[in-house]
Amino acid sequence: MTSSKNFSVTIRVWRQAGPAEPGKMVSYKVASVSPDMSFLEMLDILNDDLIRKGGAPIAFESDCREGICGCCGLVVNGDVHGPDEHSTVCQLHMRRFRDGDVITVEPWRVKSFPVLKDLVVDRSALDRIMAAGGFVSVNTGAAPDANAIPVEKARAEEAMDAAACIGCGACVASCPNGAAMLFTGAKISQLALLPQGGPERADRALNMVAAMDKAGFGNCTNEYECEAVCPKEVKVSNIARMNREFLLANLFSKK
């Protein structure tokens, strides 16, 4: 860890002008880095310096900067979302580094997440999985009473744990097979565990798994890397549930 004084680091960052353009690593020195800065604030300072010098800023994603949205996904020194466990890049602070450190920053390296520019990747494949079945049928009108549909506390908590997935794609980026099974399993689980998800239960499993396969994601081989890097600590037990839901849906499918 560094001291409370400002320091300097060298950033080796992936630069790529567009999806069809070749990319390369480019090094930049960032001076007067405060240990209290977040990693993204450090990138903001670097971009301000690049713009002042007439250069192109580094493209990267961010939104909430509170560890909620997950769109700040990067690979920092080979670690998905950086060296801190179960966190996002916006929660990473520069106190994790020392004066003179060389920090390598790359985008997700996944075939299903093509690079759009610099550190920005196209994660719309996850949206297509959700669109394939991540919904429930409900009657329109006034909101039902809170206790109209009884749900066991343990099942409700399990569903909420699955629903905590923020769809950042870290599970995919960390998996040696580029699998999206933790994401898909969490989205299937959060609805399969609740009675409201019953009407589309079988179709949901079939359609979401089909969309996952169509997007070109790999298969799970129980590496557990996905669970290790998940910012919301979603468990691989959701993958097992997804497999059960898929097998039962195939068994009883009328298609």
Residue 149 pLDDT: 82
Tokens of 86: 């179960």
In the predicted model, what is the mean pLDDT of the chain? 93
Residue 247 pLDDT: 95
CATH of residue 213's domain is 1.10.1060.10
Per-residue pLDDT of the chain (255 residues; tens, 9 = 90+): 555 799 999 999 999 999 999 999 999 999 999 999 999 999 999 999 999 999 999 999 999 999 999 899 999 999 999 999 999 999 999 999 999 999 999 999 999 999 999 999 999 999 999 999 988 887 777 877 777 888 899 999 999 999 999 999 999 999 999 999 999 999 999 999 999 899 999 999 999 999 999 999 999 999 999 999 999 999 999 999 999 999 999 988 765
Residue 84 lies in a domain: yes
Residue 33 pLDDT: 96
Contacts of 228 (CB under 8 A, 6+ apart): 85, 174
Single-letter code of the amino acid located at 247: L
Q: Are residues 129 and 100 in the same domain?
A: no
Residue 91 lies in a domain: yes
Q: Are residues 224 and 197 in the same domain?
A: yes
**Is 15 within 8 Å of 58 (Cβ atoms)?**
yes
**Is 127 within 8 Å of 187 (Cβ atoms)?**
no
What whole-number distance in Å separates Cα of residue 82 and Cα of residue 205? 32
**pLDDT over 90 percentage in the chain:** 87
Q: Are residues 105 and 131 in the same domain?
A: no
Instruction: Give the E-state strand segments of the chain in sequence order.
Output: 7-16, 23-33, 75-76, 79-80, 102-106, 115-117, 120-121
Residue 12 lies in a domain: yes
Q: Are residues 246 and 130 in the same domain?
A: yes
Total count of domains within the chain: 2
Residue 140 pLDDT: 75
What is the per-residue pLDDT across 107-155, written as a single tens digit (0 to 9) for each? 999 999 999 999 999 999 999 999 999 888 877 778 777 778 888 999 9
Q: Which of these, 114, 127, 76, lies nearest to 97 by C-alpha position?
A: 76
By three-state DSSP, how is residue 80 classified? strand
Residue 134 pLDDT: 86
Residue 139 pLDDT: 77
Residue 143 lies in a domain: no
Phi then psi for residue 29, to 5 deg, are -95, 135
| Range of the structural domain that residue 103 is part of | 7-117
What whole-number distance in Å separates Cα of residue 186 and Cα of residue 192? 10
Residue 186 lies in a domain: yes
Q: Are residues 152 and 234 in the same domain?
A: yes
